[in-house]
Structure formats: structure tokens, C-alpha cells
Structure 1
Amino acid sequence: MNNHTPLTRDFIFTQYSDYLLNHGDRPKNVYLFAKENNFEEKDFYHFFSGFEHVEKEILNHFFQKSVALVTGQEERVSTAKEQLLNLYFVFFENLSMNRSIVLKILGDNKLQSLKILETLRGSFIDFTNSLDFENWEMAEKASEKIRNLNTKSRQAAMWLHLISVLEFWKMDQSPDFEKTDIFIEKTIDTGLEFLDNEPLRKAIDLGKFLWKEKFKIR
């Protein structure tokens, strides 16, 4: 990077991702990372507080790009369910295009993964809050208890659903991750019924699918 080109978030994302994948670990410190990429250490801090912050924002970046694309198609999407499905498919397509860096950032430690996903969680909740929940056909078939979930409980439930899809995608070994697409469609199709006390009774088809996949893709 020459001295006349302004430093950008995207440049740091690209260089950091390359370093992480090539070396298998984070750079030793920001000074060395900046020096290797021909910019001043102080300029790094205009964008990020450290490498963990970069990793959180990389995942959030993929999500925000997905939201922007889905939002641009809103006139062709009539229901909240379709908007959510659209977002999931676009987001996981983005993740699949960048699978190596996403898996590296998430790692194998689930607690660490949840920490890295904090920023994404905020963006995801903002998106779901923009959906017209009252008119969801997903909610119409659900029990009264599920329909009456307060906003905070609904946010937590939907976030756990996204985490479950992410975990499935991480293990998926099918071509083009087509089984993840099926998983997304089946779970969103089942909707909030899956949050009830008897998910297998209310979603036998989904239960069979999950049971089979449990032994196929690990």
C-alpha cells in the first residue's frame, strides 16, 4: 500500500484474512502487521481496537452486505418469512464464498465463537426487529404461548436459530452446502412451532432430517 492511498476497513479485512490463513495465527502485534502492509500503526486504530475487533467486524461485514442486498430486493419480497429466508440464503452464500476465513475466525471453541459473534448478533437482532412479526404466517400456526413471546425472548430464540444454522453449515460436507439450504428452509418453514416443548411431534419431517444428518456430516 503506497503512502498516497488512504487506508480502508476493506484493505485491513483483506490483509488480515490473508495473514491469518497463510500463517495460521494472528500477527504478533499491530505494529508488525501495519509495517508489513506499509501503513502507520496509529491509522489502524482509526478503524479497530485490535485483532479480535477485526474478526468480529469481518463476520458482521458479510452480514451487512447480505442485508443490503436483501433490502434492495424488498419490492419483490412480500412477507416477513420470505425476507428472512432471502437473508439466510444470501448470508450463507457469502459465508460459503469466504468459508476458510470464517471457519478460522470461529475456531473450535464455542465460547470463543460466541464472543466473536457479538457484533453480528446486534446486527441480526436489528434486522429481525425490522420485520413485521404480527403478520408472520410462521406465527399463525404456533401455540398461544409461542405467539405471545415478548420481544426479548423472541430475539433470543431467533438468534439461537441462526447459531444452529451456523453450526450445521460448519459441519456440512455436501456439494455447494446444499444440505444447509435444506436445513434453513425446513427450520424457517416450521417456524416458531420448533420453539415449543414438543418440536419432534410438531416437526416430524424436520426431526427425521436432523437425525439422519447427525450421522452423515460429522
Structure 2
Amino acid sequence: MKNKPINSEKILSDYGNYLLTQGERPKNIYVFAQENHFDEKEFYQFFSSFEHLEKEILKHFFQKSLELSLEIEGYEDMSAKERLLNLYFIFFENLTMNRSLVLMILGKKNLSTLQKLHELKSEHQKFIKTLDFNDLEILEKAKDSIKNFNEKSREEALWLHFLSIIEFWQKDESPSFEKTDLFIEKTIDTGFEFLNNEPLKKIIDLGKFLWKEKFQKS
């Protein structure tokens, strides 16, 4: 007997449960649909493939985190830095609540080349566009070579910084992943002042650098 009409969140939930319990993707969409009591054609109303679905899971976590951050009292009066911090803290708390699933989806590939992050990147850029760059301390403390970038390039720099946090979180073994919270706060506070004159090339290595120089000694 089939359930009531399916929706995207139900498919996302069913797929996540399958990955966690089986440790791999379903054999095909038909089998996945049958096991969860809906028709294969209903899957295609929302997603084109399992790859597409996995992209949407990461996007979904970001969107839900942003919704929560917007509900914080006094949000409209927050600085760009405070809005960035609040969203990142909520997002990584969300990831932690779903850590096993997220780690399976991300795998062990280089995040900067991972196609699964395409939708997440799009959502991140939309959010960054809402911030006042002139009020964004992380860029004010950057090298001149980054501060003088156009808006699109600075969006890319902030995305690569965001990726460095995800990489850090993937490897974090501290209780409650408290060092990830510290990493978020420290890197946003200090901006890109650690970078040399090769602006974007070094951003993705920022996490590894700070782990070695600041956190392993604590």
C-alpha cells in the first residue's frame, strides 16, 4: 500500500536513512522508490539522480541553518561579521547532528573540486551577497591583494575559506567538535592576514596552517 503523495523532504530523509543503514547508495532509483512505497516517477519530480539528491542534502542543511539564523533576535541590527558567525555556528551544529551522513556524502576527495558542493556553493554565494563587504572584518584584515579584488573574487575567497572550515570539521576529533567552533571564530577574527601574496591559492590551506600553529599547541 502506497503512502500519501511524496515530497522532497521525505525523499531526502529516506535516502539519508538508507545510506546510514546500508553504507552505500541503493542499487537504482526504482528499488529505492519501491522500498519506500512510492513510484519511481515521483522521485523524478524532485531529483534527477542520486548525485543530484546528495547535492540537495547539503544545500538543504545550509538553507535550514540560514532560516534559523534569521530568527535570532536582533538579526537586523547585527554586523556582517556577527551574521556570518551565527550562520556558520548553526550550520556546523547542523552538520554535526548529521555527521555520519555528511561524511559519507563528502567522501575523502578534495573539497575544492567536489561537484557535490555545487548547490551548497550557490546558496553560500547568495548569502554572502546579502552582506556589506565594507563591514566585513575578515576582508578588512586581508592583504591588499585580496581587498582590492572585485566583489565576485571576494565571494570566491569567502567560499574557499568556508571550505577550509568544512575540511577542519571533517578532521576534528575534539569533544563536541569544540575546536571547529574555535577555528570559525579565530579565522573570521583574524581575516586572511596569514596569507601571502598568492591570494586565493593559499586560502584552502588556511585550516591546516592554523591547526598546526595555534590549536595543536593548546
- What's the TM-score, normalizing by structure 2? 0.87
**CA shift digits 1:17-61 (9 cap, x unpaired):** 111111111111111111111101000000000101110000110
Counterpart for residue 65 of structure 2: 66
The answer to whether the 8 Å contact 1:157/1:195 transfers is no
Counterpart for residue 202 of structure 1: none
Counterpart for residue 81 of structure 2: 81
Where does 1:20-169 land on structure 2 (aligned, <5 Å)?
Answer: 20-73=19-72, 75-76=74-75, 77-110=77-110, 114-169=114-169
The answer to whether the 8 Å contact 1:146/1:196 transfers is no
Q: State the one-letter code of the partner of 1:80.
A: A
* CA gap 1:141/1:25 in 2 versus in 1, 3 angstroms: closer
How many residue pairs get matched?
A: 209
**CA shift digits 1:79-120 (9 cap, x unpaired):** 000000001100000000000000000011226972111100
Counterpart for residue 185 of structure 1: 185
Counterpart for residue 17 of structure 1: 16
Counterpart-to-counterpart distance in 2, 1:143 and 1:181: 24
Task: Report SS of the residue matched to 1:117.
Answer: helix
Task: Report SS of the residue matched to 2:114.
Answer: helix
* CA gap 1:25/1:69 in 2 versus in 1, 3 angstroms: same
The answer to whether the 8 Å contact 1:74/1:83 transfers is no
Give the Å deviation of 1:156: 1.2
The answer to whether the 8 Å contact 1:56/1:116 transfers is yes
The answer to whether the 8 Å contact 1:7/1:39 transfers is yes
* CA gap 1:78/1:188 in 2 versus in 1, 3 angstroms: same
* CA gap 1:152/1:210 in 2 versus in 1, 3 angstroms: same
Counterpart-to-counterpart distance in 2, 1:129 and 1:149: 15
Aligned-pair identity (%): 54
The answer to whether the 8 Å contact 1:81/1:188 transfers is yes
Task: Report SS of the residue matched to 2:74.
Answer: helix
Gaps of 5+ in 1: 200-205
* CA gap 1:94/1:111 in 2 versus in 1, 3 angstroms: closer
Give the Å deviation of 1:213: 7.1
Counterpart-to-counterpart distance in 2, 1:165 and 1:59: 15
Counterpart-to-counterpart distance in 2, 1:55 and 1:213: 34
Q: Does 1:210 align with 2:211?
A: yes
Task: Report SS of the residue matched to 1:48.
Answer: coil
Gaps of 5+ in 2: 200-206
The answer to whether the 8 Å contact 1:138/1:191 transfers is yes
* Larger CA deviation: 136-145 vs 163-172: 136-145
* CA gap 1:154/1:17 in 2 versus in 1, 3 angstroms: same
Q: State the one-letter code of the partner of 1:36.
A: E
Task: Report SS of the residue matched to 1:193.
Answer: coil
Give the Å deviation of 1:123: 0.2
Counterpart-to-counterpart distance in 2, 1:174 and 1:187: 18
Counterpart-to-counterpart distance in 2, 1:130 and 1:212: 33
Give the Å deviation of 1:210: 1.8
| RMSD across aligned positions (CA) | 2.5
* CA gap 1:214/1:192 in 2 versus in 1, 3 angstroms: closer
Q: State the one-letter code of the partner of 1:181.
A: D
Q: Does 1:175 align with 2:175?
A: yes
The answer to whether the 8 Å contact 1:139/1:191 transfers is yes
